[in-house]
Amino acid sequence: DRLDELTVDLDLAHVFHSWSAQGGGRTPFVLAGGLGTRVWDHSGTTFLDFSSQLVNLNIGHQHPAVVRAIVEQAGLLATVAPATANLTRGQAASRIVARAPDGFHKVFFTNGGADANENAIRLARLHTGRDKILSTYRSYHGNTGAAIVATGDWRRVPNEFARGHAHFFGPYLYRSDFWATTPEQECERALRHLERVIQSEGPSGIAAVLLETIPGTAGVLLPPPGYLPGVRALCDRYGILLILDEVMAGFGRTGSWLALDLYDVVPDLITFAKGVNSGYVPAGGVIIPDSIANDFDTTVFPGGLTYSGHPLAMAAIVATLDAMEAEGIVDNAARIGRDVLAPGLAELAERHPIIGEVRGVGVFWALELVADRATREPVGAGVMAKIKAGLLARGLLPFIAENRIHVVPPCVVTDAEAAEALAIYDEVLSLP
Ligand code: PLP
Q: Which of 19, 221, 274 to mutate to test the pocket of ligand 1 (most atoms within 8 A of CB)?
A: 274
pTM of the complete model: 0.98
> Cα separations (Å) of 230 from 236, 308, 337, 410?
10, 34, 27, 31
* CATH, range 64-326: 3.40.640.10
329-365: pLDDT as tens digits? 999 999 999 999 999 999 999 999 999 999 999 999 9
Q: Above 80 in pLDDT, residue 369?
A: yes
Answer positive or negative: Cα dihedral of 343, 346, 352, 355: positive
User: Residue 382: which region, alpha, beta or left (left: phi > 0; alpha: psi -120 to 50)?
Assistant: alpha
For atom 12 of ligand 1, the residue with the nearest CA is 113
Domain formed by 31-62+328-429, architecture: Alpha-Beta Complex (3.90)
The ranges of the chain annotated as CATH 3.90.1150.10 are 31-62+328-429
For atom 1 of ligand 1, the residue with the nearest CA is 141
Helices (H) and strands (E) in the chain, counts: 14, 16
Q: Is the CB of 401 under 6 A from ligand 1?
A: no
- Contact (Cβ atoms closer than 8 angstroms) between residue 156 and residue 192: no
Q: Which residues contact 296 (CB under 8 A, 6 or more apart)?
A: none
Given the cut 0.95, state whether the ipTM is greater than it: yes
Q: What is the pLDDT of residue 23?
A: 85
Q: Is the CB of 282 under 6 A from ligand 1?
A: no
Look at residues 53, 32, 52, 50 and name the one whose alpha carbon lies nearest to residue 42: 32
Rounded Cα distance between 246 and 101, Å, is 13
Pairing mode of beta strands 364-372, 377-378: antiparallel
70-99: pLDDT as tens digits? 999 999 999 999 999 999 999 999 999 999
| Kind and range of the H or E run holding 345 | helix 342-351
Measured from the Cα of 147, ligand 1's closest atom is 10
Measured from the Cα of 117, ligand 1's closest atom is 10
Q: To the nearest 10°, report the CA torsion of 171, 408, 333, 98.
A: 70
Per DSSP, helices labelled H in 23-112 are 52-55, 64-76, 87-97
Q: Is the CB of 187 under 6 A from ligand 1?
A: no
196-235: pLDDT as tens digits? 999 999 999 999 999 999 999 999 999 999 999 999 999 9
Task: Give the Å distance between the CA of 123 and the centre of ligand 1.
Answer: 18
Percent of the chain with pLDDT over 70: 100
279-325: pLDDT as tens digits? 999 999 999 999 999 999 999 999 999 999 999 999 999 999 999 99
Q: Above 90 in pLDDT, residue 49?
A: yes
The ranges of the chain annotated as CATH 3.40.640.10 are 64-326
Q: Which residues contact 173 (CB under 8 A, 6 or more apart)?
A: 180, 182, 183, 186, 224
19-38: pLDDT as tens digits? 999 987 788 999 999 999 99
Rounded Cα distance between 135 and 188, Å, is 18
